Amino acid sequence: MKTIASRPKIVMSADGSGLISQSGALLLLETLRVTGLDHALSTQLRRWQPTRAIHDPGKIIADLAVSLALGGDCLADIAILRSQPELFGPIASDPTVSRLIDRFAADTTKALKAIRTARAIAREHAWTLAQSAAPGADGELIPIDLDATIVISHSDKENATPTWKKTFGFHPMTAFADHGTDGAGEPLALMLRPGNAGSNTATDHINATVLALAQLPRTRRRQILIRTDSGGGTHEFLTWLTRPGRWLKYSIGFTITDDIGAAIVRLPASAWTPAYDAEGQVRPGAWVAEITAMLNLTSWPHKMRLIVRKERPHPGARLRFTDPGGHRFTCFVTNTAGGQLPDLELRHRRRARAEDRIRCAKDTGLRNLPLHDFTQNHIWCEIVALACDLMAWMQMLTLNGPARRWEPKRLRLRLFAVAGRLVHGGRRLRLRIAARWPWAPQIITAVTRLQTLPASP
């Protein structure tokens, strides 16, 4: 029997030089460069740079976004960049960062517009560089998923109020561009709202959609599918989506009313078509049917179709009082004229990926709104969106296969956390990472791809 050797005693000292922690962050820095986000932020935010100031406001915001992408959740976490100027360059002090956020908060409307303009400029170039990997490059619709979420506040902050879930905090409205089953997604809008804001407020859905559309390249704005849960199924929002001159498709969850419930009961068995599972295969125990012709929908937008899904509940599920026949029913409406019912229903059900995008945003700074003033936290939400954009663009431009779908936690563990050593020689600066790091080949390949892409003009 072999004995297990004890781990050798290791003596630690803080006297190393040339060592870089989080050296995989070079992927984020190269993404900043090739998409032109660094230049766009510097240009758009120049007006907030005081006379004789050393630090560029655009770089400060970009540095904050990188710190969030690496796992930070407050302004002070920019210190992880400040300790490594060889990789990240000169980093502003904590007081300088705080003063900049205060200047933005004092002029919130213009500051938010400037940051959003920079994001839109960089997004267009990122999608151009991605070519066939970009959303909508194949001519298909680009799903934009709208959803609200609760952000808990553990202290008394401005506009933090009791929420409908009997918690305390905020209720932001989000909009994400879905990259499909082969990718992740990009935040197009993170609209901060008080905790008592409603889930079905049409004005907020409209405002979030306007912000989301403004983030997209003009050439893609006629390829849009707006998806929401039943919170978006209001007269006002659907009427706005279908106003003459708009080219928007929609797939919106719908509340089952008494009239809809009665129509479902009258449906013959022959009206039901088997539904699909997530892989596009027939799912046992689930069916779809259209009941548009069975209802009076004259008060709703023209060409609106109402589709219902029926499924056997899983063991232990609680049915609603309105669920007839021991099945669970859900409805959605769409203005898509063609398509098989199972395909339309599967397309709508994939809206659930927005929950994954929200969870990833909360893992990138949205879970903790660290500032007191509402305007300050609104700026913070834009920095969170920048961080999520950086990771999404990096994956879209460099990664393939399952790595394209990695969430922030896995990106940090496998790609960003690798240590390295900066070596000067031959008039070049080389960053050497550990040869035994399991994902070293992916990191090197990704960095090489980014460095061969043409930077934004």
pLDDT band at 1 (very low <50, low <70, confident <90, very high): low
Pairing relation of β-strands 224-228 and 185-191?
A: unpaired
Pairing relation of β-strands 224-228 and 142-148?
A: parallel
pLDDT band at 455 (very low <50, low <70, confident <90, very high): confident
How many CA atoms lie less than 13 Å away from 311 in the CB half-sphere?
Answer: 17
Flag the least confident range among 2-16, 67-81, 268-282, 402-416.
2-16
* Two tokens, residue 205: 């859905």
Sequence letter at residue 438: P
Q: Alpha helix locations (H) across 83-201?
A: 85-88, 94-106, 108-130
Position 116 in a domain:
no
What are 96-146's pLDDT values in tens digits?
999 999 999 999 999 999 999 999 999 999 999 999 999 998 889 999 999
Nearest one of 13, 42, 200, 21 to 121, comparing CA atoms: 42
State the residue range of the domain holding 102.
19-107+369-452
What is the three-class DSSP state of 190?
A: strand
pLDDT of residue 11: 83
**Cβ neighbour number for residue 301 with a 10 Å cutoff:** 16
Nearest one of 175, 176, 187, 180 to 133, comparing CA atoms: 180
pLDDT of residue 39: 96
Position 417 in a domain:
yes
**Tally of domains in the chain:** 1
First to last CA, the chain: 66
Contact by Cβ (8 Å): 233, 333:
yes
Instruction: Provide φ and ψ at 276, rounded to 5°.
Output: -105, 155
Position 393 in a domain:
yes
Residue 181 predicted with pLDDT over 90? no
* Two tokens, residue 49: 């740079």
What are 145-160's pLDDT values in tens digits?
999 999 999 999 999 9
Cα 53 to chain centroid distance, Å, stands at 33
* Rounded distance between C-alpha atoms, residue 448 and residue 457, angstroms: 20
Looking at the DSSP bridge assignments, the partners of residue 174 are: 147, 190
pLDDT of residue 324: 66
Q: Taking the CA atoms of 377, 382, 383 and 387 in sequence, report the sign of the dihedral they define.
A: positive
Contact by Cβ (8 Å): 194, 173:
no
What are 192-233's pLDDT values in tens digits?
999 999 999 999 999 999 999 999 999 999 999 999 999 999
Position 280 in a domain:
no
Position 252 in a domain:
no
Please state the rounded mean pLDDT for residues 16-33.
91
**CA separation (Å) from 104 to 39, 112, 347, 382, 386?**
18, 8, 40, 11, 16
Position 374 in a domain:
yes
Please state the rounded mean pLDDT for residues 326-347.
91
* Rounded distance between C-alpha atoms, residue 418 and residue 75, angstroms: 23
Instruction: Provide φ and ψ at 330, rounded to 5°.
Output: -135, 155
Instruction: Provide φ and ψ at 159, rounded to 5°.
Output: 70, 10
Q: Taking the CA atoms of 115, 97, 420 and 183 in sequence, report the sign of the dihedral they define.
A: negative
Residue 424 predicted with pLDDT over 70? yes
Please state the rounded mean pLDDT for residues 414-439.
89
Flag the least confident range among 54-63, 242-251, 321-330, 368-377.
321-330
* Rounded distance between C-alpha atoms, residue 27 and residue 129, angstroms: 16
pLDDT of residue 7: 76
Indicate the average pLDDT of the chain: 92
Nearest one of 89, 86, 35, 33 to 60, comparing CA atoms: 89
Position 235 in a domain:
no
pLDDT of residue 321: 60
Residue 4 predicted with pLDDT over 70? no
Sequence letter at residue 341: L
Please state the rounded mean pLDDT for residues 353-371.
94
Flag the least confident range among 90-104, 206-220, 260-274, 373-387.
260-274
pLDDT of residue 322: 62
pLDDT of residue 367: 93
Position 398 in a domain:
yes
Give 399's contacts (C-beta < 8 A, 6+ positions apart): 406, 442, 446
What is the three-class DSSP state of 187?
A: strand
